Amino acid sequence: MKEAFPLIRLRGRGGWLEGRDGVVVSFFIHRDHTEVAPAIWRAIETYRRAIPAGSLNWYTSADGDMVPLDGAGWEHNRREVIDCIGGGGRTAELRESPSETGGYQVEYYGRLLNSPFHDAPATALAFTFPTEYLLRHGAEHLRALAFELARELPFNFGYASFAIVSTQGSWASGDWTQLEALLSRYLGLDVYSVGRASSVIGTHGLGPHWLTFLGQPLLGRIGGTEALRSALPFPETSLIPMDGDRLLITLGEEPSALDTKDGAIPPQYLALGRMLKPFMFEYTGDIDGIQHDVNRWRRRLCP
Please provide the distance, in angstroms rounded to a whole number, between the alpha carbons at the two ends of the chain: 29
Q: State the average pLDDT over residues 193-198.
A: 89
In 3D space, the residue among 167, 160, 162 whose CA is nearest the CA of residue 10 turns out to be 167
Q: Give the residue with greater pLDDT, 167 vs 135.
A: 135
pLDDT at 287 over 50: no
With a threshold of 0.75, does the pTM exceed it? Answer: yes
In 3D space, the residue among 89, 55, 59 whose CA is nearest the CA of residue 198 turns out to be 89
In a domain, 2, yes or no: no
In a domain, 120, yes or no: yes
Torsion over CA: 145, 149, 151, 156 (sign): negative
Residue 84: how many CB atoms within 10 A of its CB? 17
Mean pLDDT score of the chain: 91
In a domain, 1, yes or no: no
Taking only the tens place, the pLDDT of each residue in 99-148 is: 888 999 999 999 999 988 888 999 999 999 999 999 999 999 999 999 99
Residue 63 has a pLDDT of 82
Residues in the chain: 303
Residue 284 has a pLDDT of 65
Q: Work out the percent of the chain whose per-residue pLDDT is above 90.
A: 72
pLDDT at 86 over 70: no
pLDDT at 92 over 70: yes
- pLDDT band (50, 70, 90) for residue 171: low
pLDDT at 154 over 80: yes
In a domain, 121, yes or no: yes
Report yes or no: 91 and 109 within 8 Å, Cβ to Cβ: yes
Residue 85 has a pLDDT of 65
CA distance 290 to 166: 19
Contacts of 168 (CB under 8 A, 6+ apart): 93, 107, 193, 195
In 3D space, the residue among 239, 221, 219 whose CA is nearest the CA of residue 229 turns out to be 239
Residue 186: how many CB atoms within 10 A of its CB? 21
Q: State the average pLDDT over residues 13-38.
A: 93
In 3D space, the residue among 269, 70, 39, 287 whose CA is nearest the CA of residue 148 turns out to be 39
CA distance 250 to 194: 22
Residue 99 has a pLDDT of 84
In a domain, 5, yes or no: no
pLDDT at 4 over 90: no
Residue 173's Cβ-side half-sphere holds a number of Cα atoms within 13 Å equal to: 18
pLDDT at 50 over 50: yes
Report yes or no: 249 and 212 within 8 Å, Cβ to Cβ: yes
Count up the domains in the chain and report the number: 1
Q: State the average pLDDT over residues 74-93.
A: 87
CA distance 263 to 286: 34
In a domain, 197, yes or no: yes
Taking only the tens place, the pLDDT of each residue in 216-236 is: 999 999 999 999 999 999 999
In a domain, 208, yes or no: yes
In a domain, 159, yes or no: yes
Q: State the average pLDDT over residues 41-46.
A: 98
For 110, the domain range is 10-298
